[in-house]
Amino acid sequence: MNFLSYQSIPAILKENASRYATRTAISYKKRGTFLSLSYEEFYERVILLARGLKKSGVKPGDRVAIFSENRLGWAISDFGIQSAGAITVPIYATNTGKQAAYVINHCEAKVVFVSTKTQYEKLLSIRDEIPNVELIISYERFMGDRSFPVYTQYQLSEVSSPLKAEEKGVIENQIDAITQDDILTIIYTSGTTGRPKGVILTQRNIMVNANHGMKKFPVDEKNPQTFLSFLPLSHVLERTGGYYATLLSGNHVAFAEDVKKVMENMVEIQPTNMVSVPRLFEKIYSRVYENVHQGSSFKKNMFHRAIDVGRQYVWKKYITKEPLGTLELRYRFFDRLVFKKIRERFGGKLKYFICGGAPLDKTVNEFMWIIGLPVFNGYGLTETSPAVTLSHYDAIRFDSVGKPLDETKVRLGEDGELFVKGPQVMREYYKNQEATQDSIEDGWFRTGDIARIDEHGFVYIIDRKKEIIVTAGGKNIAPQPIENELKLDKYISQAFVYGDKKPFLVALLTPNLERMVDLGRELEIDYIDMEELVSNRKVMEIYAKRVEELNKDLPPYNTIKYFAVLPREFTIEGGELTPTLKLKRKEIYNKYKDTIEELYVNAGNGLVGHPKTTNGEEK
């Protein structure tokens, strides 16, 4: 199906409501059970909401905000807003009231959808700061404050009131009036480097990106696929790659209950495809190796033999494209014996993943291919709708983000910065002409990422330009590759490398909490809390050995000289991660500044590890 033969995303949904009328469009969990809506039912709910919005005074071009986590209401709101000719403005569900107020005020939204009373209360707490908001619509029923009334989406849609043919005709005429050049959404960046910027994306921006992406992975119309959605729809990666692309091609989207229940939902839903960020694959890699570690010697040997055969198989089949001979039979043997059992833990029907948001470590990527769960790396930004590059079966390098999509050009600046030109590049930043002019030059968008492009056209992302560490000795160091290597260790969950204008690199490590508890038991350590456990001498010796192993493969200026193990992981709630699980470097440094600086202060006495301890005892 060529999406670009239509004028808009709502127009394709209108077509699909007839073409795939009884086929399942969306599944969602309610009171412990997954429920579903067919394409026909989903479309009707969308039209009902669009009718309600128009009755409430929403006009074409108005901005309407959605302050919610992924759920059925989000999808109905988004398509309903578009069908009314308005513009969807998503707000991350994890945002505070003040963060939400900035987006609401900047885009001048008069109507805001909220998912729960919790989100409503965030807005209520800053009511005086959002004076232009006229209508709050909730997906759940609860009592609001008299000074700030709230209505349910059910009430606004007047679900109990039959849709008259005339009313449906008015909405469908509005859908038919939408063009590819109309604004679909304004998505605000995370604001880690300053004020959030509103990225204007048109219907064509998103449609062309979804279209070129789906061409890499053709869909059999007779066998619809199931995509499990768990990344925030407020982010363009999930929205284009896992939500629009799925619904526009007549497939099935299932919304995960929560990020923490993704593994559980994978078994329940048995998805065929998913979009994710590297964190999920790092956890799968770590969990599989941890289970192997706890198994018998026979199972360990069998697993490692399977991995060796699997590595030869995927390299010959997908990288060097050599004849497989008897290798294919050996791989099938180990696949049945070992890898199939691993895949069954994730539903058993997964065909592939698409990964974006940050570069995936090549060791983890190779492992996923070996066990029969291919991960196709892609690269993009909010400003590029998002995909710029994407790998596929005929073009794989485990440490690359693939090759440019159709109609997409890339080049490198003098300093290695990646420039992009193509139909997916945003129109502009909303009400920010200065930032637009700084970012787009002669149609080329400056990505802010340092990259390299090999002789075969594969693109490799090194790191964010602003995150490159320049040491006191003048060495330019990309922290992400080092952090990715650290995270491969079974005891390390996350890593933050620092060293800007310093003589050497240091790192903050967060522990794999489950493994850390087991380690404490194995080493017979008495401790009160996690802080005491991670600072124990025996534990620190284990971490020191792990860091030393990593350092052996790095040039001297890239090695980690000192490190601290934190007693907790970085989280979105703690302010250390973005909603798509990227490190907020500035916030991490500010939060742990004393710990980081103490590593440098204590460098002279040979201290390695937690700055407040030496040999497990307080200094």
User: pLDDT for 316-357, tens place per residue?
Assistant: 999 999 999 999 999 999 999 999 999 999 999 999 999 998
Q: How far is CA 46 from CA 53, 108, 228, in A?
A: 11, 23, 21
Q: How far is CA 370 from CA 283, 317, 432, 601, in A?
A: 16, 11, 46, 45
Question: Is residue 610 pLDDT above 60, yes or no?
Answer: no
Q: For residue 159, what pLDDT band results from cuts at 50, 70 and 90?
A: confident
Q: What pLDDT sits at residue 221?
A: 78
User: For residue 529, with 0-12 CB atoms within 10 Å meaning exposed, 13-18 middle and 19 or more buried, which class applies?
Assistant: exposed
Question: Is residue 194 pLDDT above 70, yes or no?
Answer: no
Q: What pLDDT sits at residue 192?
A: 58
Q: Count CB neighbours of 285 within 10 A.
A: 21
Q: For residue 609, what pLDDT band results from cuts at 50, 70 and 90?
A: low
Secondary structure letter of residue 225 according to DSSP:
-
Average pLDDT of the chain is: 93
**Phi/psi of residue 174, nearest 5 degrees:** -65, -40
Question: Is residue 432 pLDDT above 70, yes or no?
Answer: yes
**What's the rounded mean pLDDT across residues 209-234?**
91
Cβ-Cβ contacts under 8 Å for 254 (sequence gap 6 or more): 26, 27, 28, 34, 226, 227, 228, 229, 265, 269, 271
Whether 186 contacts 176, CB under 8 Å: no
What does the block give as tokens for 601? 């202060």
**What's the rounded mean pLDDT across residues 423-442?**
96
- Helix, strand or coil, per DSSP, at residue 484: helix
Q: What pLDDT sits at residue 437?
A: 96
Task: Dump pLDDT digits (tens) for 363-418.
Answer: 999 999 999 999 999 999 999 999 999 999 999 999 999 999 999 999 999 999 99
- As beta bridge partners, residue 496 has 508
- As beta bridge partners, residue 153 has none
Question: Is residue 615 pLDDT above 50, yes or no?
Answer: no
- For each of the domains in the chain, give its residue range(s) and CATH number, in order of start: 3-178+217-275 (3.40.50.12780), 468-618 (3.30.300.30)
Distance of alpha carbon 279 from alpha carbon 488, whole angstroms: 11
Task: Please choose, from the candidates 184, 196, 182, the residue with its C-alpha nearest in 3D space to the C-alpha of residue 104.
Answer: 196
Q: What pLDDT sits at residue 172?
A: 98
Q: How far is CA 326 from CA 257, 367, 374, 619, in A?
A: 44, 21, 22, 61
Task: Please choose, from the candidates 229, 246, 244, the residue with its C-alpha nearest in 3D space to the C-alpha of residue 424.
Answer: 244
Q: What pLDDT sits at residue 580?
A: 80
Q: Is the dihedral of CA 394, 398, 403, 404 positive or negative?
A: positive
Task: Dump pLDDT digits (tens) for 479-532.
Answer: 999 999 999 998 999 999 999 999 999 999 999 988 898 889 889 999 999 999
